[in-house]
Each structure stands twice: as structure tokens, then as C-alpha cells.
């Protein structure tokens, strides 16, 4: 009994320690390396300037950021409401930092609840990926909470998954990357074998993405994609990070061992991000965002015990480790150089 009590006490202490260090690390990331932080200055200014309710503020386009030409009607309404509400009483930095902390703590809870090696996984997320979402793309970072729950959890059903996906897209549309996955429940209900069900999902995903590509490039009914299509900038299909992710996906797709439910979902997410990156390589706003968010699939896939160890597992873990090292190098480089601090000082 004493050993059990000591173990629980240690686990509680370790949780508090990890969260405390993570919050401090997050503060440094936001203050000295965040490129997007300066945009929240405008939320703060306009929330103070106009004494109107949220709906008038959002839908009439009162708020318009000259820095980058951002308009609230192009942002997701859920996250906009959070920013608007907090900005009325807090500074833009406080708003950004508080939302980031809450997002990070919820993710820590989800890591602890669903992963086999939660603390190691979360530390990797914190030092290598929090910079992307909690430190910069905060709207996507909040939406990512819903995606993490869907991918990490072993308890899913069709209606719940659809509901969570719709809710998450109030915060960021990139969560639509997982939108076809609930079909797996329909296929399972039809008594189709699990392996065959996933094969069908993979094929449907490729077909759906190809149709979206055709619509976005050759039709006049792609209004929702106009902003992205009209800002073309190619991504590098031979970039180091993408090639590492591609190798990771290929290694695990050819893995002969049995994968668990959340491991299969993680691999599927990585696969979708990889295919989007290839198909939409001429539009970096689409390709990069979807590839970045898909890397979350590596956590349930690789931070778990494999049925059998093989060269495929070794390659995939090596590739993911190199991606993490590269991202951590960027964080350190940005912290040393502080390239965006002057933008914040100017406001």
C-alpha cells in the first residue's frame, strides 16, 4: 500500500512539474519567437474601440487587420468568439498566453489518458510542436484538441465522430483532414473486415482529394478555396521534413505486425497529410497546414508497444525522431535570433 501511495504521489508531482516547466517554456516561445502574436494586437484594439456585440463585430467586418489583410469573416467563428471575449478585458498577450496554456493543459490530459508513454510523448510535443500551434497558429492549436481526442481515443462511433468534427471546424477548417474517417464505422457495421475497411477508406480518401483538386483548379464553384488558390506558392516535395514523413508513412503501411485502433487512426492521419501535401503542392497554405497537423498521428502510432519489432518500426521511429530534432532546432534558432520581437515592439 505504501508503495502504491508513493507511486501516486510521484505521478502527481511529475505531472505538476511537467506542466510548470511547459508553461514557462511556452511563455518564452510566445514572447520571443511567435510570428502570429502581433496579429492579436488588432483583436485587442478593435474589441476595445467598438462597443458592439460579437455578431455585429464579426459579421459586419468591423475588425480588419491591415497587417496581413486578415478579416474576421474569414476566420472560424468559435475561436473568434474566444479571442473577442477575452480581448475585452485582457491585453492581446494575456489573451494569447491564456488560450495557449489551456490548450496545452487539455492536451496533456489527453496524452495521459490515452497513450502508453504519455509523459515522454508530451515532452516531445512540447519541445518540438507546441511552437507551431500553441506558439503561433493558435486557432489550429485549439482545434487540434478535438482531433487529438478522435485519434487517440479507442472509443468512437459514427455520430460522435461527426459531431466532434463539426464542432472542431468552428475553430479551424484543417480538422476536415479527418472527415472521411467516420465511414469506417459504417463499413464495420456492414461486417466488412477491418483490414478491408481501412483499404476502402484509403482509396476513398485518394479519390476524394483528387476530386477536390479538380474542383479547386478547374471549376467555378470553389469559392471557399479562392483565398488559398489565389495565393499560390509551391512547397518543396524534396524537403527534408516531408521526405522523412513520407518514409515514416511507407514504413508503417508495409509493417506486417498488428496495429491497435488508435495506431491505425494515427497512420491514416499521417497518410492523408502526406497525400494532401503531394496533390496540393502548388498551394503552400493548404499543403503545409495539412501536413503539419497530420504529424499528430505519429504519437499514438509510435508511442505504443508494437506487436513485433521490425526494421519498419525502427525506420519510422528514426524518421519521427529526426523531424522532432529539426523542429526543436528551429525553436532554439528562433529563440536566439528573435526575428519577430521588433514587430511586437512596434505595437
Q: What is the pTM of this model?
A: 0.87
Q: Output phi, psi for 304, to 5 deg.
A: -155, 160
* 170 DSSP 8-state letter: T
Q: Output phi, psi for 34, to 5 deg.
A: -75, 125
Pairwise CA distance, residues 79 & 182, whole Å: 24
pLDDT at res. 89: 80
Pairwise CA distance, residues 100 & 14, whole Å: 21
Q: What are the start-end ranges of the H helices in 51-137?
A: 54-59, 77-87, 92-114, 118-128
Tens digits of pLDDT across the chain (347 residues):
455 555 666 678 889 999 999 999 999 998 888 887 777 776 666 666 666 677 776 766 544 444 344 444 445 788 888 887 887 788 888 888 999 999 999 999 999 999 999 999 999 999 999 998 998 888 889 999 999 999 998 877 888 889 999 888 888 888 888 889 999 989 988 989 988 999 999 999 999 999 888 877 766 655 555 555 555 678 889 999 999 999 999 999 999 888 988 999 999 999 999 999 999 888 888 888 899 999 999 999 999 888 778 899 999 999 999 999 999 999 998 888 777 655 544 44
Q: How buried is residue 77: exposed, middle or buried, by Cβ count under 10 Å (0-12/13-18/19+)?
A: middle
Is the Cβ–Cβ distance between 123 and 18 less than 8 Å?
yes
Is the Cβ–Cβ distance between 91 and 44 less than 8 Å?
yes
Rounded (5°) CA angle 291-294-296? 135
pLDDT at res. 51: 65
Q: Which residues of 191-226 are buried (b: 16+ CB within 10 A; e: fewer)?
A: eeeeeebbeebbeebeeebeebbeebeeeeeeeebe
Is the Cβ–Cβ distance between 175 and 245 less than 8 Å?
no
Pairwise CA distance, residues 83 & 106, whole Å: 18
pLDDT at res. 226: 53
pLDDT at res. 98: 92
* 70 DSSP 8-state letter: B
* 65 DSSP 8-state letter: B
CB atoms inside a 10 Å sphere around CB 182: 20
* Number of H-type helices and E-type strands within the chain: 17, 0
Q: What are the start-end ranges of the H helices in 34-91?
A: 40-49, 54-59, 77-87
pLDDT at res. 65: 45
Amino acid at each position: 500500500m505504501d508503495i502504491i501511495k508513493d507511486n501516486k504521489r510521484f505521478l502527481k508531482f511529475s505531472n505538476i512539474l511537467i506542466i510548470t516547466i511547459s508553461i514557462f517554456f511556452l511563455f518564452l516561445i510566445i514572447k520571443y519567437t511567435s510570428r502570429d502574436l502581433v496579429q492579436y494586437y488588432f483583436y485587442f484594439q478593435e474589441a476595445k474601440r467598438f462597443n458592439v456585440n460579437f455578431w455585429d463585430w464579426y459579421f459586419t467586418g468591423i475588425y480588419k487587420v491591415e497587417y496581413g489583410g486578415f478579416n474576421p469573416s474569414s476566420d472560424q467563428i468559435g475561436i473568434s468568439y474566444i479571442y473577442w471575449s477575452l480581448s475585452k478585458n485582457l491585453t492581446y498577450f494575456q489573451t494569447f498566453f491564456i488560450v495557449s496554456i489551456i490548450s496545452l493543459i487539455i492536451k496533456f490530459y489527453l496524452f495521459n489518458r490515452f497513450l502508453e508513454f504519455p509523459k515522454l510523448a508530451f515532452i516531445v510535443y512540447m519541445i518540438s510542436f507546441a511552437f507551431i500551434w500553441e506558439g503561433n497558429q493558435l486557432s489550429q492549436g485549439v482545434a487540434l484538441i478535438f482531433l487529438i481526442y478522435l485519434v487517440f481515443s479507442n472509443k468512437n462511433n459514427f455520430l460522435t465522430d461527426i459531431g466532434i468534427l463539426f464542432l472542431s471546424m468552428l475553430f479551424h477548417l484543417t480538422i476536415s483532414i479527418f472527415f472521411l474517417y467516420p465511414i469506417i464505422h459504417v463499413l464495420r457495421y456492414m461486417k466488412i473486415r477491418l483490414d478491408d475497411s481501412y483499404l476502402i477508406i484509403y482509396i476513398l480518401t485518394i479519390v476524394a482529394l483528387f476530386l477536390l483538386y479538380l474542383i479547386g483548379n478547374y471549376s467555378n464553384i470553389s469559392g471557399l478555396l479562392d483565398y488559398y488558390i489565389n495565393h499560390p506558392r509551391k512547397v518543396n516535395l524534396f524537403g527534408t521534413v516531408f521526405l522523412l514523413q513520407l518514409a515514416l508513412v511507407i514504413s508503417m503501411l508495409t509493417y506486417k505486425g498488428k496495429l491497435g485502433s488508435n495506431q491505425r487512426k494515427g497512420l491514416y492521419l499521417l497518410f492523408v497529410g502526406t497525400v494532401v501535401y503531394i496533390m496540393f503542392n502548388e498551394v503552400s497554405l493548404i499543403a503545409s497546414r495539412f501536413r503539419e497537423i497530420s504529424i499528430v498521428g505519429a504519437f499514438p502510432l509510435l508511442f505504443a508497444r508494437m506487436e513485433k519489432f521490425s526494421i519498419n518500426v525502427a525506420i519510422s521511429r528514426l524518421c519521427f525522431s529526426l523531424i522532432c530534432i529539426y523542429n526543436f532546432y528551429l525553436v532554439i534558432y528562433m529563440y536566439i535570433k528573435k526575428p519577430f520581437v521588433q514587430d511586437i515592439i512596434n505595437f
